[in-house]
């Protein structure tokens, strides 16, 4: 038989077996390859990167240094609001009154007025867009 002539299923079966063997060998090599260290650079004074499922720290830089919470507290406020929105105990149309304490708060502001009734939707915008300390106090 010449090249290109059929030899039954023997040639096809041998080629299929060869491809399967190569695929298995490649898979084994990929699984056996050592894990690569993350090459991360940052200008941040402190940083930590964790795997959310396992809690494994993937990268850290001065992770144990004390630092002010800054807007991290706003993120916690947002988390609490979104949880309540999700469970239906709060709606975007609900309103809250602005206290004098919220109005007097320094730092970044949404510039709400004392006694005004502000919707959750607007307070969320004030927190997320303007980083409003006053909006966080109203919503808390």
Which domain covers residue 46, as residue numbers?
A: 38-67
Q: Is the pTM of this model over 0.75?
A: no
Q: Is 1 within a domain? A: no
Q: Which residues are catalytic?
A: 71, 74, 131
Same domain, 79 and 123: yes
pLDDT digits (tens, 9 = 90+) for 79-137: 999 999 999 999 999 999 999 999 999 889 999 999 999 999 999 999 999 999 999 99
Same domain, 106 and 62: no
Same domain, 106 and 92: yes
Spatial separation of the C-alpha atoms in residues 61 and 54, rounded to whole Å? 19
Q: Is 2 within a domain? A: no
């Amino acid at each position: 038989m010449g090249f290109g002539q059929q030899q039954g299923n023997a040639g096809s079966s041998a080629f299929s077996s060869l491809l399967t063997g190569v695929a298995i060998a490649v898979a084994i090599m990929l699984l056996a390859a050592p894990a690569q260290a993350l090459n991360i650079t940052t200008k941040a004074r402190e940083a930590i990167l964790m795997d959310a499922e396992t809690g494994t720290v993937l990268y850290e830089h001065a992770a144990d240094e004390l630092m002010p919470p800054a807007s991290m507290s706003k993120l916690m406020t947002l988390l609490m609001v979104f949880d309540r929105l999700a469970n239906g105990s709060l709606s975007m149309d609900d309103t809250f009154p602005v206290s004098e304490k919220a109005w007097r708060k320094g730092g970044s502001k949404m510039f709400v007025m004392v006694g005004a009734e502000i919707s959750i939707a607007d307070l969320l915008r004030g927190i997320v867009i303007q980083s409003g300390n006053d909006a966080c106090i109203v919503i808390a």
